Amino acid sequence: MQATSHNPLLKRLSGMGLHAAESQGALQRLLARQIVMIDADTPLPTRGGEAICALLSGWAIGYRRVGRARQIFALFLPGDLCSAGLFAPDAAVETGRCLTRSVVACVSRDELAALAERFPDLEQALWASELTALAIRRQWASYFSARTAEQRIACLLCDTVVRLRTADDAAARRHEFPLTHKHIADICGLAQGHVQRVLRQFARERLVRLARRKLFLIDEARLQSIGGFDASYLQVEDAGAD
């Protein structure tokens, strides 16, 4: 069983009001009973919406099909609830897929709801988590519409790094970034060739370095300025830029 400091979901929820050792232990025991390893490019096992998937390691996406195209509307990082909607139905994600080999705890929606009813601080933290997920989705809608390609990609890179740094600092220090140009294009609503040109431009200007599934933000403050990125919707104290 993972200690709280090594469990990204518990770490995340503890920052949202989950403080009591008893409630942390109860949630940790529930998660530990239902942990599965999922290969890359495999659907999340939401069991038709009956399960809530907590991502403990790895990356995943939420997406929908629009005609023959795929629209990615959510990026899940360690510590995220990939198929929430326990309290806010609009936060639910029914179509999710792992981008990398991942460790996921697939918890019964009813069991988690019963646990939240027993522990008020857990209920508060889960509410805060779902509201943050909705805020991210709203902010993405703003970032990826009526903005230039440079602004969209800058916001995506900043959003991802700040969230990863908050939830899984070890992964952030490893600079993990499994998103391909196609993923970035699907998220930002751009052509893949346009994404490639912008990333080359960012590299020439020494803003980022992206290679071998690793991302280095060389000038994070300037990248935030280009995108007009404001991390307040993520409920973090420090965006991390110098």
Q: Quickly count helices (H) and strands (E) in the chain.
A: 9, 9
Residues composing the chain: 242
In angstroms, the CA 184 to CA 173 distance is 21
In angstroms, the CA 87 to CA 103 distance is 24
In angstroms, the CA 33 to CA 1 distance is 9
The more confidently predicted of residues 220 and 6 is 220
Contacts of 148 (CB under 8 A, 6+ apart): none
pLDDT at 196 over 90: yes
pLDDT at 2 over 50: no
Backbone angles phi, psi at 78, to 5 degrees: -50, 130
In angstroms, the CA 226 to CA 106 distance is 38
Q: At what angle do helices 181-188 and 192-204 cross, to 10 degrees?
A: 110
DSSP string, 154-186: HHHHHHHHHHHHHH-HHHHHTTB----HHHHHH
Give percent helix, percent strand, percent coil of the chain, each to the nearest 5: 50, 20, 30
What predicted TM-score, i.e. pTM, was given to this entire model? 0.87
Closest CA to 202 of 127, 139, 165, 148: 148
pLDDT of residue 82: 84
pLDDT digit string, tens, across residues 41-56: 999 887 766 788 899 9
In angstroms, the CA 202 to CA 142 distance is 22
The CATH code of domain 4-142 reads 2.60.120.10
Would you list the domain boundaries of the chain? 4-142, 148-234
Distances in Å between the alpha carbon of 174 and those of 10, 36, 159, 161, 171?
21, 23, 17, 11, 5
pLDDT of residue 170: 67
In angstroms, the CA 94 to CA 82 distance is 9
Going by CATH, does the domain composed of 148-234 fall within 3.40.50.10890? Answer: no
Across the chain, mean pLDDT equals 87
